[in-house]
A and B are shown apart, each in its own frame.
Chain A
């Protein structure tokens, strides 16, 4: 079963599974799509925020993966490799989208007086670890909405690093910028997101 061979943490099982794919085993391809497709669709939906575009990205990602399976190197997990491919497919789609009017990142960053002190005194937040199940779902939706308010370049870097878990080097390569530029953009994106979440996350405020 794909669930066991692909997700069962068995390196030997995965080697056998990849061998079946390389041999053109149709059942293995069906197992792969069923085992990994749901997660890949979730990734594409998070990045694209459109079910139709996400479905296209997943299909394109699988077609790319099927073509490239001969070059898959065992150094990475198959699931990790597919994750990178669907992220790339989603980014290609994002680049073809016309940009909507967006707020300047400067308006979302924290403000300081000339002497360097905070203009708005930071408030304590409710701890994310204290959220119950319902609050977690509500908060997850809230965070998604606020991420979508970030300017596109900042939203993308934050999605790649903090949501999809890519490292700075991979993120920089995908965005065509230096690792230092990716880090600076990420930091500004986090500061902006913190500011957008602040009115909702204050310890005494309602979610």
Chain B
């Protein structure tokens, strides 16, 4: 396995989807290749940074929007 192939397998590796034999080859490459290990860590960090965006606190809906949404419902009696 080379670095390009190692990069191709990252998503399956992190999902736990690599067959056992392929996983051994993948991990064998990581042991011998510090750049790929560093790359793997930054790929993992990219996912963690996505969670940072997802976890942003939300603010309450402005009253005007609440009223507009409830008014839209009131206009649609069939929506019950």
Contacts and interface: CB of A to CB of B under 8 A. Distances in A.
B11 A46 contact: no
A82 interface: no
Contacts of A46: 53
A185 to B, nearest CB: 11
B14 to A, nearest CB: 10
B54 A190 contact: no
A37 B65 CA distance: 9
B11 A66 contact: no
Interface size class of A (residues with CB under 8 A): 35 or more
Interface string B64-79: 0110111011001011
Interface size class of B (residues with CB under 8 A): 35 or more
Contacts of A186: 11
Interface string B46-71: 11111111101011110001101110
B45 A127 contact: yes
A136 B54 CA distance: 12
Chain B contact surface mostly: helix
Contacts of A191: 7, 43
A197 interface: yes
A107 to B, nearest CB: 16
Interface of B: 2-5, 7-8, 10-11, 35-36, 38-39, 41-43, 45-54, 56, 58-61, 65-66, 68-70, 72-73, 76, 78-80
Interface of A: 22, 24, 26, 29-30, 33-34, 37-42, 46, 55, 58-59, 62-63, 66-67, 110, 112, 115-118, 121-125, 127-129, 136, 139-140, 143-144, 147, 158, 162-165, 183, 186-187, 190-191, 193-194, 197-198, 201
